Structure 1
Amino acid sequence: MYSSYASNLVATSKNSKSASVTRDALLEAAGRVVVAQGAEALTLQAVAQEAGVSKGGLLYHFPNKDALIAGMIQHLVDEFTAALNQELAQDDAPKTPGHWVRAYIRASAVFDQQTIALQSGLLAAIAVNPELLIPIQEIFVDWQRQIEASGIDPATATALRLAIDGLLFAHLFGLGVPKESLQEAVIETLLKLAH
């Protein structure tokens, strides 16, 4: 009896792990579709084809396009949160005023073309259903609280957050993106002001 229970437990664990891997693979495939073809090409059929699974296999994890987009958004939030936590752990002056703001600036200062294309595509997809923004809005409320409580003047901390967010938006919308050397100088200035 025990060996039957144990083998069922192992099988369930493998299936759960396989489902998680498949879900991640589907989200990555969706990201590739958005980056390569734009948000308008993000269909369940296109993602299933890109992932090499049946549409039914995709529907098992994401019952509709909104669920897929919500999954992509959560995936981006999770990736940013992981980067933020890594920056918090690697900061050379932990537990000092501005520690959280500096980590936020460093985690936000990723402007590679693929990330920008994916974020731009998701913004376009969200425009169809603004309710998909709710998870991002909620986490930004928490991040803003952290920024205000970072130990430096809350107005300065918020201005620094808005400046790095503005640099990201310049990239997302192609709004007068500064040259790379100037961007680096801006980021260094923000980090200095966060002490």
Structure 2
Amino acid sequence: MLKSPYTRLPLWREQPDNIVGILHAKDLLRALNAADWRLDKLDVLKLSAPSWFVPDTTSLQDQLNEFLKRKSHFALVVDEYGEVMGLITLEDILEEIVGQIADEHDIDVPGVRPQPDGTVNVDGSVPIRDLNRHMDWSLPDDEATTIAGLVIHEAQTIPEPGQAFTFYGYRLEVLRRQRNKITALRIKSLNK
């Protein structure tokens, strides 16, 4: 928890898709203090809040209303099969409405590495939405969640390393692939 930049962490049992609760850093610190900082006296599951799952088809307006109604800032997003796709926060929604909200705890997006030549090396698992925010880009995220998913969707195939595609004003080159998964790309905005 200390190495995480987040204050709320999903807890899972046996496999990552089996989310059993949400642990807030403040709750953990209060409980540790009350237990004289002895980890053996803690049951993190009892400290956690219930998980809240929302469909990936929920509109921003509906999700904002639910956050306000529930007085919550955090939900897990699931697809039509109940698979966890990621998470959404109240801050995510507000940033979609008013633009980036910077604070002292914001960090760079893991897996996004701008290069001196103006290109950006990106892990395939990076969410398009995070990449767009971090780079001030406008890649579409309605057909895919990750940048690798977008390339596969647009290419209509799983590309080989070295293949490059140009769409939506960006050049995307596949750098690495493991089995059927694109693991690394190089992206150049053609608009700047």
Alignment TM-score, normalising by the size of structure 2 = 0.32
Q: Which has the higher helix share?
A: 1
Q: Which has the higher strand share?
A: 2
Bigger radius of gyration, 1 or 2?
1
Q: Which has the higher contact order (CA 8 A, sep 6+)?
A: 1
TM-score (structure 1 length as normaliser):
0.32
